Structure 1
Amino acid sequence: MNTSFIFLLFIAFFILLSSFFTVKQQTAVIIERFGKFLSIRQSGLQLKIPLIDRIAGRVNLKIQQLDVIIETKTKDNVFVKLKVSVQFMVVKETVYDAFYKLEYPHDQITSYVFDVVRAEVPKLKLDDVFERKDDIAVAVKSELNEAMTTYGYTIINTLVTDIDPDIQVKNAMNRINAADREKTVAEYEAEASRIRIVAKAKAEAESKRLQGQGIADQRREIARGLVESVDVLNKVGINSQEASALIVVTQHYDTLQAIGADANSNLILLPNSPQAGSEMLNNMVASFSASNQVGEMMKKNKKSTPKKAEPKFEEPENPLEETEESDEV
């Protein structure tokens, strides 16, 4: 008899304990009595009648996320995979509808996402899908809100988190981007080359201009020096033709001396025509005669009287002057 009493006492204690239950935060518990909805219990310690009331289910009131991957085709016939993340939650005041009206909320949300995405993406080209992914997300959210509110759910946000075209399309897009960047690089390199060429041309033009100006100045000074030399020779009785011959031969020998002074020079100065040898010889003879004449004039000037009368002398024979008259200064 003591054993039966202990057994009954144990059963009573078990029934008493089963009358109490706890509900976690952000959770709602559905209580049914004999299979019929009785009440919704919120977080905390709750009481029910044992063997009569039962917990039919628990509804999560937290924000949940469902990731849906959809494969569809764009307007330009490119297959692309989109990953749409849907953030949703059960409204606290509509827990009854969420529990009894919709058995599989994830499947329902997935179906609506598929429907909206496959209606919107085929209207857009691939590039537009990337640019207008926010518009697709807004369209999905609007459609889901309108449908899921009836079942006690609210859509917090929808995000198109990934757009993955076919691998061949991705490779083609990468090649296009690479070619575009190479084109940009080529344009910049061409512009830089053009700038360098223009700058070099300007520098060369300026150099040529200065070089030409220097040569012109040099020739101007040479001409001035020649004029002065001819004037000096004319003053001592040497005519212009003899003076020119003397200057030419002097410059000729100066050139030969400059060439010979360079030990590493392999340049040989030769006449460039058959008549050049005889002409050079005639010029040399005329130059020597003119030189002798200048020497004699200088000696006579030293012995001359204070009246400084100009001495008269006969012009030396010059083969070059056989047919020409001498010019007197």
Structure 2
Amino acid sequence: MDIPLIIFLVFVLFIFLSSFFTVKQQSSIIIERFGKFLSVRNSGLQLKIPLIDRIAGRVNLKIQQLDVIIETKTKDNVFVKMKVSVQFKVIQEKVYDAFYKLEYPHDQITAYVFDVVRAEVPKLKLDDVFERKDDIAIAVKRELNEAMTTYGYDIINTLVTDIDPDIQVKNAMNRINAADREKTAAEFEGESTRIRIVAKAKAEAESKRLQGQGIADQRREIARGLVESVEVLNRVGINSQEASALIVVTQHYDTLQAIGADANSNLILLPNSPQAGSDMLNNMVASFTASNQMGELMKKNNKKVKPKTEEHQTGHQAPQPPENPEIEI
């Protein structure tokens, strides 16, 4: 075969193959003919005229993200760095506008973000910037949509992802937060201490009340027991004085027995001599006898004073009551 023919066949094959091309998913290709826009080709196998039509460019239809870092000043003169993330994409029906009308879309978007943020943030104080960052993001999105739709771009979302104040301001804010937390902790600690003191005082008061009630009940039962004991002894012919003396002596020896039963007891009962019981009984009998004598003497004195008082008041001698031997006895 002739070499020129082979070269010709190869050239024809190359021209034929260059007439076909593929477009990837989520992208578009701009076709120009002799430098003039011809058509927009979407995903799939496409055909063009070799040497006449050419691929002018490719347009990405996927959602893209642009991070813009802006330094601005708040209303209270605090410099902050803000990071605004803009998510956008090319509108498929406006690929022509996106390709031919706008040369550098990222620079255009960045300029609008700077303009909006530096117009909104100086109206707010630093604390308000943190609280209203969503409002700032909405304002950026609204402004970008109005501007970029003309160029075939759709703004999907805008996010204020970072707010970074000056380092000195951050340190001051941290100190304020630390002091506030310490104050809150001190208040809670003081309240806790107060609650413990009040609870302890209430517990002690209740303990004292129950202790006093217990002592009163104990003494009441002891007194009731003594009365019952005296009544029992009276039934067998023992009078009240003898019964009282007997009960005291019995309790004395019961106490000594209880003390001796505990080897570790440090209690000493005074007096604790062998004759202590008889001495105590004799003292009690003597006390009861003296008490009875004093009572009889006071009764006789009262009887003598009463008639004289009546005679002095009336000027006449009061009639004497008849003698009654049974009453004197």
Query: Structure 1-normalised TM-score?
Result: 0.68
Question: Residues 93 and 266 of structure 1: is their aligned pair in 2 closer, same or farther, counting only changes over 3 Å?
Answer: closer
CA shift for structure 1 position 196: 2.5
For residue 213 of structure 2, what is the aligned residue in structure 1? 213
Specify the SS of the correspondent of 1:50. coil
CA, structure 1 residues 263+10, in 2 after alignment: closer, same or farther (shift >3 Å)?
Answer: closer
Offset at residue 255 of structure 1 (A): 10
Deviations 1:63-110 (A, max 9, x none): 211111222222222222222111111112211111111000011001
Say if 2:196 is the partner of 1:196.
yes
Counterpart residue number, 1:143: 143
In 2, the alpha carbon distance for the partners of 1:93 and 1:262 equals: 107
3-state SS of the aligned residue for 2:76?
A: coil
Return closer, same or farther for 1:288/1:145 CA change in 2, 3 Å cut-off: closer
The Cα of 1:227 is off from its aligned counterpart by 10
What is the Cα deviation at residue 9 of structure 1?
Answer: 2.9
Match of 1:315 in 2: none
Matches within 5 A, 1:7-26: 7-26=7-26
The CA distance in 2 between the partners of 1:64 and 1:6, in whole Å, is: 48
Percent sequence identity over matched residues?
83
- In structure 1, C-alpha distance between the alignment counterparts of 2:90 and 2:228, rounded to whole Å: 115
Q: Deviations over 1:257-289 (max 9, x none)?
A: 99999988889999xxxxxxxxxxxxx799569
CA distance, structure 1, for counterparts of residue 24 and residue 220 of structure 2 = 110
What code does the residue aligned with 1:95 have? Answer: V
Summarize deviations over 1:47-70 as a string: whole Å, max 9, x none: 222222221111112221111122
* Matching residue of 1:110: 110
Shift in Å, 1:10: 2.4
Between the aligned partners of 1:287 and 1:31, the Cα distance in structure 2 is 139
Displacement of 1:166: 2.9
Provide the C-alpha distance between the structure 1 equivalents of 2:205 and 2:122, rounded to a whole number of angstroms. 63
1:159 alignment counterpart: 159
Counterpart Cα distance in 2 of 1:73 and 1:289:
101
Q: Separation in 1 of the partners of 2:208 and 2:253?
A: 30
1:51 aligns with: 51
Partner of residue 61, structure 1: 61
Structure 1 unmatched ranges of 5 or more? 271-283, 291-317
Shift in alpha-carbon separation, 1:32–1:261, aligned structure 2, 3 A: closer
Q: Counterpart in 1 of 2:321?
A: none
Corresponding residue SS for 1:51: coil
Secondary structure of 1:31's counterpart equals strand
Given residue 109 of structure 1, which amino acid in structure 2 is its aligned partner?
I
SS at match of 1:37: strand
Q: Which residue of 1 aligns with 2:3?
A: 3
Which amino acid in 2 is paired with 1:107? D
Q: Determine the C-alpha separation between the residues in 2 that align with 1:122 and 1:9.
A: 71
Unaligned ranges ≥5, structure 2: 271-278, 297-328
Secondary structure class of the residue paired with 1:204: helix
Distance 1:56 1:228 in 2: 125
Is the partner of 1:154 in helix, strand or coil?
Answer: strand
Match of 1:75 in 2: 75
1:122-137 mapped onto 2 (5 Å cutoff) = 122-137=122-137
2:38 aligned partner: 38
**Closer, same or farther in 2 for the Cα pair 1:262/1:92, shift >3 Å?**
closer
Q: Which amino acid aligns with 2:152?
A: G
TM-score normalised by the chain length of structure 2: 0.68
- 1:128-277 equivalences under 5 Å are 128-216=128-216
- Report how far residue 130 of structure 1 moved: 1.9
| CA-to-aligned-CA distance 1:119-143 (integer Å, 9 cap, x gap) | 1112122222222111111101100
Amino acid at match of 1:34: F
Structure 2 counterpart of 1:172, one-letter code: A
Task: Find the counterpart in structure 1 of residue 309 from structure 2.
Answer: none
**Which amino acid in structure 1 is aligned with residue 162 of structure 2?**
D
Structure 2 vs 1, CA of residues 156 and 223 (structure 1 numbering), >3 Å: closer, same or farther?
A: closer
Count of residue pairs the alignment pairs up: 294
State the match for 1:95 in structure 2.
95
Pick closer, same or farther for the CA change 1:208–1:48 going to 2, 3 Å.
same
AA aligned to 1:186 is: A
Aligned-residue offset at 1:210: 2.7
**Counterpart amino acid of residue 142 in structure 2:** S
Shift of 1:223: 7.9
